[in-house]
C-alpha cells in the first residue's frame, strides 16, 4: 500500500510548513532537457512537492548518461521523458507530470511553454542554451521566469558555482567558465551542485523570493 | 564614444549596431545573450539596435554541459 494523496501532502506540510507547501503545490515548472541538470532538478522539485512539472527531452537513456543523470540501468534505451516520469511517480505519484518527447527548437518553443510560470533551461549545448534564452525574451510572456545554467564541468571547486540574477526574469547558475569546450568532463557532483542551484532558485521564486 | 561591456569601459565608434559590435569583438553569436541597460535584446533586433554613449552591455557567453 502506498501512502494516500492526503498523507503525502500533509507530511510535506509538516516538513516545509503549510504556507510554503501551498505555494509549491501551485507551482508550474517546465524542465527543458532531461540530462544531468534536468533530471536532477526535476527529482528535487518532485521531492519538494512542486505540483506541476512539464518534462521535455527528445533523447533516450544511454549507458554513458548513468555517470550523472538520475536514470537506472533498466532505463537504458527508454525515452528520458518516460523513464523520469516513472522515477518521479515512485517518489510522489500525486504530482501532475506532463511530458513532451520532442527536440525544443526556436520554432516550437513558444507553443511548448504556454502553461508554465518558470522555465528551467537544462540543455547540454551552449548553442541550445542561447537559443532558448533568445526565444524566451523574444516570444514568451513577460510574466514568465527563466532559470538557466552555464559552467559546471570537471571537478573544480564547488564554491565557484553560484546563482546570478541577470535581470528581473533571468537567473543564471554555474561558474560561467568551465564547459565542455574547455575539456572538462561532466560528473555527478558538480553537475548536481549546479542543478541544486537551479532547483533552489525555482523554489525561491515559487515562494516569492526574487533575489538570487 | 564610451560604453561599458561586462564592467569594463570601452571606446567604440559612433553609429555602431549591436550586430556590428558582436562581430567586431569576436563573440560567437550563437552562444551569447546580450543585455543592454538591463534588457535582453533578441537577436532579431541586433541589426537595428544602435548603441549610444554610456550604454551598459552585458554579454553572457554560454558554455556547454548539462
Q: Which residues from B are below 8 Å from A192, CB to CB?
A: none
**Cβ A147 vs Cβ A118: under 8 Å:** yes
Task: State the average pLDDT over residues B30-45.
Answer: 97
Q: Which residues from B are below 8 Å from A153, CB to CB?
A: 63-65
Give the other-Cβ count within 10 Å of B52's Cβ. 11
Q: What are the pLDDT digits (tens) for A138-193? A: 999 899 999 999 999 999 999 999 999 999 999 999 999 999 998 889 999 999 99
Task: State the average pLDDT over residues B17-28.
Answer: 97
Q: What are the pLDDT digits (tens) for A13-52? A: 999 999 999 999 999 999 999 999 999 999 999 999 999 9
CATH class of the domain whose range is A5-207: alpha beta
Is residue B66 situated within a structural domain? no
Interface subset of A 156-175, CB within 8 angstroms of B: 166-167, 170, 172, 174
Is residue B7 situated within a structural domain? yes
A172 sits in the region (left: phi over 0; alpha: psi -120 to 50; else beta) called beta
Q: Which chain A residue has its CA at the smallest distance from B65's CA?
A: A124
> How far is the C-alpha of A171 from the C-alpha of A212, rounded, in Å?
7
pLDDT of residue B35: 97
Report how many domains make up chain B: 1
Q: Is residue A11 pLDDT above 90, yes or no?
A: yes
Is residue B23 situated within a structural domain? yes
**Please, how many CA atoms are within 13 Å of residue B19, restricted to the half-sphere of its CB?**
8
**Cβ A209 vs Cβ A202: under 8 Å:** no
Task: Compute φ and ψ for B64, nearest 5 degrees.
Answer: -80, 160
pLDDT of residue A122: 98
Q: The CATH number of the domain where B35 resides is what?
A: 3.10.20.30
Give the other-Cβ count within 10 Å of B39's Cβ. 12
Find residue B2's DSSP bridge partners: B11
Using only C-alpha atoms, chain B has a radius of gyration, in whole angstroms, of 12
User: Is B40 in CB contact (< 8 Å) with chain A?
Assistant: yes
Question: What ipTM was estimated for this complex?
Answer: 0.96
Q: Which of A33, A39, A38 is nearest to A103 (CA)?
A: A33
Q: Which chain A residue has its CA at the smallest distance from B37's CA?
A: A167
Task: State the average pLDDT over residues A187-207.
Answer: 98
**Cβ A104 vs Cβ A32: under 8 Å:** yes
Domain that holds residue B37: 2-61
pLDDT of residue A109: 95
Q: Is residue B47 pLDDT above 90, yes or no?
A: yes
pLDDT-based confidence at residue A81 (cuts at 50, 70, 90): very high
Amino acid at each position: 500500500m502506498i501512502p494516500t494523496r492526503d498523507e503525502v501532502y500533509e507530511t510535506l506540510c509538516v516538513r516545509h510548513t503549510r504556507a510554503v507547501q501551498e505555494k509549491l503545490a501551485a507551482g508550474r515548472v517546465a524542465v527543458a532537457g532531461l540530462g544531468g541538470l534536468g533530471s536532477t532538478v526535476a527529482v528535487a522539485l518532485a521531492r519538494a512537492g512542486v505540483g506541476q512539472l512539464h518534462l521535455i527531452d527528445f533523447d533516450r537513456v544511454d549507458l554513458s548518461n548513468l555517470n550523472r543523470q538520475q536514470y537506472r540501468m533498466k532505463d537504458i534505451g527508454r525515452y528520458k521523458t518516460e523513464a523520469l516520469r516513472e522515477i518521479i511517480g515512485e517518489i510522489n505519484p500525486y504530482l501532475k507530470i506532463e511530458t513532451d518527447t520532442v527536440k525544443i527548437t526556436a520554432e516550437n518553443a513558444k507553443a511548448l511553454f504556454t502553461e508554465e510560470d518558470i522555465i528551467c533551461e537544462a540543455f547540454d549545448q551552449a548553442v541550445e542554451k542561447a537559443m532558448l534564452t533568445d526565444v524566451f525574451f523574444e516570444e514568451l510572456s513577460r510574466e514568465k521566469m527563466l532559470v538557466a545554467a552555464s559552467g559546471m564541468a570537471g571537478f573544480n571547486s564547488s564554491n565557484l558555482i553560484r546563482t546570478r540574477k541577470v535581470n528581473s526574469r533571468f537567473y543564471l547558475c554555474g561558474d560561467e567558465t568551465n564547459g565542455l569546450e574547455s575539456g572538462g568532463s561532466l560528473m555527478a557532483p558538480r553537475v548536481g551542485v549546479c542543478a541544486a542551484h537551479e532547483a533552489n532558485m525555482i523554489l525561491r521564486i515559487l515562494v516569492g523570493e526574487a533575489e538570487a | 564614444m564610451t560604453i561599458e561591456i561586462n564592467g569594463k569601459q570601452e571606446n567604440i565608434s559612433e553609429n555602431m549596431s549591436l550586430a556590428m559590435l558582436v562581430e567586431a569583438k569576436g563573440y560567437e553569436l550563437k552562444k551569447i545573450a546580450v543585455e543592454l541597460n538591463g534588457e535582453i535584446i533578441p537577436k532579431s533586433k541586433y541589426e537595428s539596435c544602435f548603441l549610444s554613449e554610456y550604454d551598459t552591455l552585458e554579454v553572457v557567453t554560454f558554455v556547454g554541459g548539462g
